[in-house]
Structure 1
Amino acid sequence: MKYLLIVVALLGIIGSGCSKYQKLLKSQDYELWYAEAMKYYEQEDYTRAATLLGQLVNIYRGTDKAEEANYVYANCLYGLNDFLTAGHYYREYVKNFPAGDYAEECQYMSAYCYYMRSPKPRLDQTTTEEAIQEFQLFINMYPNSARVDESTRLMDELRDKLVYKSYLNAKLYYNLGDYLGNNYQSAVIAAQNSLKDFPDTKYREELSFLILESKYIQAVNSVEEKKEERVRDTIDEYYSFVNEFPEGKYKKKADRIFEDTDKMLKGYNNEVAVN
């Protein structure tokens, strides 16, 4: 009985709160809307606060409450995980209040909203690229900000995602093999471009071995007039790989590639000596 009374009391409080909120929405007292929206915001009731502020940001445009309304509305949207719309209103704040009290924070949050929207590596990475651009813009605008180190760290994380995406693309070419053409050469080009664009990536070893292995497979399956050249190219690639990763996780596989290609090259040399 005691618990039933508590439940009834709670439902009564909730019902009363809903009734009060519905009456507020029906009113045209925008000053009251603003005051209540700020209360909801402080209580982390972002849904109600955002509902009110979503209308007030337009009503208060050009007034002394416009800056605060825009900032709080963006924060409410962020609190609701609506990163797309939140990012838009953070950028709106920066555009409309470049010298405002929250300009630095909003510039950072604009980038961070892109970061939160960055998809998994296998998907299109346009948003990831936009996030990197936004973080770089923030660093350029606020080079002395306490958020610069964090922005740099997040940019590195996003770049690694782009590299992994390019690695997956190169791996896809590799897996396609000779289907409808020489996809191994496409894998080499894709991996080389990734290393050129992101030389410090944590996927450097994976990309480098993919290049070596793709060149090796091309050499083994090559037509005779191109085989020796491709074998020599594979051996050169092997030496580059082991010089950079002498104790890497692909060292044994790389050594087997070298042993095989070295035998092939010695065979060519023996043929030349005989002839």
Structure 2
Amino acid sequence: MKNMKKFTIIPIILIANFLFASTLDQNFQLAKKMYQDTLYEEAIQQFQKIISQYPTSKEAEESQLLVGNCYYNINNFADAEQTYKHLLRAYPESDFVPNALFKLAESQFNQGKYVQSAENYQQLINKYPGSSFAHSSLIKSVKALYLSHQYNETILTALEIAKNYPQNTSIPFVYLVMADAYFDNNIPEKGLSTLQTIISKYKNSEAKWIAVKRLANYYLENDNIEQAINILSDNIDESIPRKYEKDLSLLLGDLLFANNDFQKAMENYQKYLKKFDNETNLDTVSIKIIDCLYKLKNYQKAIEYAQEFVDKLSKSNLIPTAYLRYAQNLFCIKKYTQALQILNKNIWQES
């Protein structure tokens, strides 16, 4: 009889365990489905039930992480921060710790808590150097230090990261932040050399083109237009990504114009119009070409350009400007009556 009781109890335990596991799995899958469907408020409630009812389960650990992610995805970074902190305290040996530590740092970064986020990015890099989260933390740790105005620490950390992770694709971007730290720390020569290093060493990285623009702007701000022109001219080539070519080629044209090289400036603007013929600033660039022609005293060609502008870009906000340029060039070839007619008919009507 006693043996019968034993045999009866064992199946009951097995059934109970099965039902426990089955219910847990069903609830967890339901919560994950809500999460995947971006029903974050509902998912939070379901995950919290799992954490409360099955606190020692693997699902509870992941639920804690996903609750944090729910808050993070709705930009509730304060609650996300507290949730990730709770996971790290409650499950310090969990496989989800690197993920939670990274998202904790991200939540703090997004709240402007740069000192705390830098500490957590660095902790992640030091404790889990081979993890994907550590690699994602490289640039963010340097950015957080920079944004907290710890310029010396930014530079030292950037140098250490570059030494320890030389093949990481974020290294040229780490150098960009380091260059900013040098400039803000009143060591411009180091900032300039760092930007030059990016340009020469990381030719296939997008960071190169950011460095080119920053270098050109630095020289422009310090009244060295020719050096800025040289930087752009030496680096704008066929390898430049389209999204960077647009800004940099336009900047080059403006610098050439400012340096009184109107012929090259015009050629640069014309090349821009041909390549970026569907951009929203075509009217602005067209006005620049008219101005170049005026400076070159090619008044007839400037008039033709102005007429073409009026005909093709009739809805532009720069139509009054185009008419002014039109009249200006007519005056230069002594067509005073026509110039005055244009002014009277169009400019005064606009006002």
TM-score, normalised relative to structure 1:
0.46
| Greater gyration radius | 2
Q: Which has the higher contact order (CA 8 A, sep 6+)?
A: 1
TM-score, normalised relative to structure 2:
0.37
